[in-house]
Amino acid sequence: MGKFIKWGLPALALVVLAAGWWLGLAWAPPDREMGDVQRIMYVHVPLQWVAMVAMAINFGVAISYLMKASWKLDAAAEASAEIGLVLGTAGMITGAIWGRPTWGVYWSWDPRLTSQAIMLVTYTGYLVLRRFVEDPEKRATWSSVVAIIGAINLPIVWFSVRWWRSLHQVQSTPKTVDPEMTLALRVSAFGMLFLTLWFLVLRYRQALAERQAEVALPDALPSDLAAAGGANSSGVA
């Protein structure tokens, strides 16, 4: 399992992603109206999808943490929020790059764009909170509460294009677009998903190690050598 995550998962992700992007850039037909500009979809849409996946994981582990406290869940929450924020920001930037030639502007106050911007600021606040609370247990509980409250916005982002028909187009279905486009998009999305999972595992391990170092610290103080044996306990009391 360890070997697969270290070498197999990134290799699989890069191969699938390369295949998806080759299909999208070279094989799928150009859009009837937008032409080649539309091909950024194979980057933009997967980025937004996996950002949503990461945020949904964050929501899930936040609820789980409140039900059963564990450092693993807290580390997973930190990893998923951070990666979701990075991917969502990248998705927003690619969207802006596409918006300029298509809509004539980089940014419009369309409901989808606005709700996504709110979501990104919300998770920035979440990560700032994590930096500003020193006590690891309080940090884990409070940030879980903030994550749950913030996640109320996620379905609004997702359904915003249906609820308020505005500039941003509605999610396309395989029935409405060329099957070659669907295939390229799906392969790219799976590539992006594998890459995200790899990022998540790496960041999760890092966060967990940080947490364990943090909670082990009081026991490891020189004045308390007797307790040093149990220094790397990781459970929440």
Partner 1 sequence: MSTSRPRPIGLLTATLALLRKDLLIEWRTRARLNAIIFFALATLLMFSFALGPDTKLLEKNAGGYFWLAILFASVLALGESFRVESENACMDGIRLAPADARAIFLSKALGNTLLLTALGVLLVPVMVALYGVRIVTSVVDLGLILLLGSLALSAPGTVYAAISSNARARDVLLPLLLFPLVIPALLSAAKATTLVLQGDPMRQFDSWAGLLGGFNLIYWGVGFLLFPRIIED
- Which residues lie near partner 1 (CB under 8 A)? 66, 118, 121-122, 124-126, 128-129, 132-134, 138, 141-142, 144-146, 148-150, 152-153, 156
Q: Which amino acid is at 183?
A: L
Determine contact, residues 189/87, Cβ cutoff 8 Å: no
Q: Rank residues 62 and 79 by Cβ distance to partner 1 and give the closer one.
A: 62
Shortest CB 221 distance to partner 1, Å = 22
Q: Report the alpha-carbon distance of residue 120 to residue 81 in Å, rounded.
A: 10
Residue 86 or 231: the one with the smaller Cβ distance to partner 1 is: 86
The C-alpha atoms of residue 172 and residue 178 are separated, in whole angstroms, by 10
Q: What are 200's two structure tokens?
A: 């998540």
Q: Smallest distance from the beta carbon of 139 to partner 1, in angstroms?
A: 9
Q: Between residues 105 and 149, which has the closer beta carbon with respect to partner 1? A: 149
Task: Output the smallest distance, CB 122 to partner 1, in A.
Answer: 5
DSSP string for residues in 110-125: -HHHHHHHHHHHHHHH
Exposed / middle / buried, residue 5 (Cβ in 10 Å: 0-12, 13-18, 19+): middle
Q: How far is the CB of 151 from partner 1 (least distance, A)?
A: 10
Task: State the CB neighbour count (10 A cutoff) for residue 188.
Answer: 28
The smaller minimum CB distance to partner 1, of residues 36 and 135, is found at 135
Task: Identify which of residues 1 and 237 has a Cβ nearer to partner 1 in the complex.
Answer: 237
Q: Which is nearer to partner 1, 32 or 109 (CB)?
A: 109
Q: Nearest distance from residue 138's CB to partner 1, in Å? A: 7
Give CA 92 to chain center in angstroms. 13
| Tokens at 70, concatenated | 């564990």
| Those residues with Cβ within 8 angstroms of residue 129's Cβ, 6 or more apart along the chain or in another chain | 139, 142, 143, 146
CB of 86 to partner 1, least distance (A): 18
Distances (CA, A) of 63 to 75, 88, 193: 14, 22, 23
